[in-house]
């Protein structure tokens, strides 16, 4: 291996006239060929060494790898993707059922998205982020058929479960954050919403609340499941307690109106289960406007347990979703699907976090 062994070319694969670089050391290798020349092997060997595929002697592999390290060389992703017939991109898509931008800037999405982004980047993939307002049933197939991604993560099925189902029938690499529905054929990751709903409700009941309100729009699947949990708890542990449901909008202004109107007539309410921390915040606001003390007169519990739950006055009790585990699962399952495996949906255990909005400390 010592003599360089230039056969025919006389060492002149490129720029023989010796311009460009005087010494044969050259600058940083720009591609796998350059590195091959430096190492005195062929491009194929470099490829195998770096990828760790095929049969290659440990000696050459390490030699090439250390050269790559020395020159801080990384093979082109684009070329690899072209050759391997993939795009190197994962689509992350947020369908906004009815509402517009507010929804997207909800801290909940940000947190989940940030976690997902990290996991995807760790695997060397890019992220194509899009939020779509599903005007027509084609919104998802358009994204899928664009051929710009190797797989898709959908954050929240909203009311689009049918559309997702119909695409999942022919497009496999697809995972969804959200509720696990009976009729779904796609793979989903989400909290056990029903259990979470039950936990929150039992918490309120155990603190003596007897007139409960559920704040949330059950036309969204996750929320419907939480409502079921709410009803379960009332039925099993309610003994005389009553509950009602107020379908609160996601848009904050609208939500405040909805809630204010409700509270003005429902002055006996002593426990509120809001299906998101942001709705719970709005409820706190409306209650304080009406001089109803929290938690003395009314106890409030939210859902998600985001940062903001710790910063309201009083601090908000909430049902915590394990978003880290959720992001892990979403990305892990998606890559398994891309690899052709078949995988099962994942359901995460929620956890209750009691703070000042339900317990006097």
The CA-atom distances, in angstroms, between 231 and each of 183, 198, 203, 352 are 22, 8, 13, 18
Interaction between residue 12 and DNA (CB under 7 A): no
Strand order in the sheet with 317-320: 242-246, 211-215, 271-274, 299-304, 317-320, 351-353
Length of the chain equals 361
Q: What is the CA radius of gyration of the chain?
A: 28
Interaction between residue 245 and DNA (CB under 7 A): no
Identify which of residues 227 and 323 has a Cβ nearer to a second copy in the complex.
323
- How many residues interact with a second copy (rule CB under 8 A)? 53
Interaction between residue 138 and a second copy (CB under 8 A): no
Answer whether 245's CB lies under 8 Å from 220's CB.
Answer: no
Interaction between residue 71 and a second copy (CB under 8 A): no
Tokens of 24: 């044969």
| End-to-end Cα spacing for the chain | 77
Identify which of residues 110 and 266 has a Cβ nearer to a second copy in the complex.
110
Please state the separation of Cα 86 from the chain's center in Å. 22
Q: Which stretch binds a second copy (CB under 8 A): 78-86, 203-211, 221-229, 338-346?
A: 78-86
Tokens of 116: 């997902």
Separation CA 149–CA 87 (nearest Å): 6
Tokens of 28: 């940083």
Identify which of residues 105 and 342 has a Cβ nearer to a second copy in the complex.
105
Interaction between residue 80 and DNA (CB under 7 A): yes
- Least separation in angstroms between residue 258's CB and DNA is 50
- Of 320, 317, 307, 308, residue with least CA distance to 360: 317
Q: Which stretch binds DNA (CB under 7 A): 59-67, 252-260, 281-289, 343-351?
A: 59-67
- Least separation in angstroms between residue 55's CB and a second copy is 28
Please state the separation of Cα 149 from the chain's center in Å. 16
Choose among DNA, a second copy, none what residue 58 binds, the Cβ cut-off being 5 to 8 Å by kind: DNA
Out of 15, 51, 185, 288, point to the residue binding a second copy (CB under 8 A): 288
Sketch the per residue contact string, 209 through 248, with a second copy: x for CB under 8 A, - otherwise: ----------------------------------------
Interaction between residue 281 and a second copy (CB under 8 A): yes
Separation CA 303–CA 214 (nearest Å): 12
- Least separation in angstroms between residue 140's CB and DNA is 22
Choose among a second copy, DNA, none what residue 210 binds, the Cβ cut-off being 5 to 8 Å by kind: none
Separation CA 194–CA 165 (nearest Å): 22
Out of 42, 146, 206, 244, point to the residue binding a second copy (CB under 8 A): 146
- Phi, psi of 154, rounded to the nearest 5 degrees: -105, 125
Out of 307, 349, 359, 360, point to the residue binding a second copy (CB under 8 A): 307
Identify which of residues 71 and 228 has a Cβ nearer to a second copy in the complex.
71
Question: In the range 85-144, which residues lie near DNA by CB under 7 A?
Answer: 85
Identify which of residues 30 and 219 has a Cβ nearer to a second copy in the complex.
30
Is the previous residue joined to 3 through a cis bond, with omega within 30 degrees of 0? no
- Contact partners, residue 273, CB within 8 Å, separation at least 6: 197, 200, 201, 204, 212, 213, 214, 215, 226, 230, 301, 303
Interaction between residue 358 and a second copy (CB under 8 A): no
Q: Give the residues lining the site for DNA (CB under 7 A).
A: 30-33, 40-45, 47-48, 50-51, 53-61, 75-76, 78-80, 82-85
């Amino acid at each position: 291996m010592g003599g360089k062994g230039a056969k025919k070319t006389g060492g002149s694969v490129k720029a023989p006239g010796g311009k460009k670089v005087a010494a044969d050391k050259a600058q940083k290798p720009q591609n796998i060929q350059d590195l091959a020349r430096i190492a005195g092997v062929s491009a194929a060997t470099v490829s195998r060494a770096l990828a760790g595929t095929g049969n290659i002697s440990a000696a050459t592999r390490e030699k090439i790898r250390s050269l790559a390290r020395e020159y801080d060389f990384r093979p082109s992703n684009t070329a690899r993707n072209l050759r391997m017939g993939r795009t190197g991109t994962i689509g992350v898509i947020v369908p906004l059922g009815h509402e517009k931008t507010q929804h997207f800037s909800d801290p909940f999405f940000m947190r989940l998205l940030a976690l997902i982004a990290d996991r995807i980047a760790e695997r060397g993939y890019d992220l194509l982020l899009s939020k779509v307002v599903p005007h027509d049933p084609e919104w998802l197939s358009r994204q899928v058929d664009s051929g710009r991604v190797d797989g898709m993560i959908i954050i929240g099925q909203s009311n689009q479960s049918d559309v997702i189902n119909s695409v999942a029938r022919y497009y496999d690499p697809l995972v969804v954050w959200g509720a696990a529905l009976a009729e779904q054929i796609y793979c989903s990751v989400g909290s056990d919403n029903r259990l979470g709903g039950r936990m929150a409700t039992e918490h309120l009941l155990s603190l003596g609340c007897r007139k409960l309100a559920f704040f949330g729009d059950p036309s969204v699947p996750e929320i419907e499941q939480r409502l079921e949990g709410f009803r379960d708890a009332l039925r099993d542990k309610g003994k005389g307690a009553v509950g009602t449901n107020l379908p609160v909008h996601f848009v904050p202004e609208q939500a405040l109106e909805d809630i204010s109107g409700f509270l003005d007539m429902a002055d006996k309410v002593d426990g509120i289960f809001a299906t998101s921390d942001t709705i719970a915040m709005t409820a706190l606001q409306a209650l304080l406007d009406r001089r109803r003390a929290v938690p003395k007169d009314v106890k409030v519990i939210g859902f998600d347990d985001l940062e903001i739950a710790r910063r309201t006055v009083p601090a908000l009790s909430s049902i915590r979703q394990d978003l880290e585990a959720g992001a892990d699962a979403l990305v892990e399952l998606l890559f398994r699907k891309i690899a052709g495996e078949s995988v099962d949906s994942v359901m995460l255990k929620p956890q209750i976090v009691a703070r000042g909005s339900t317990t006097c400390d």
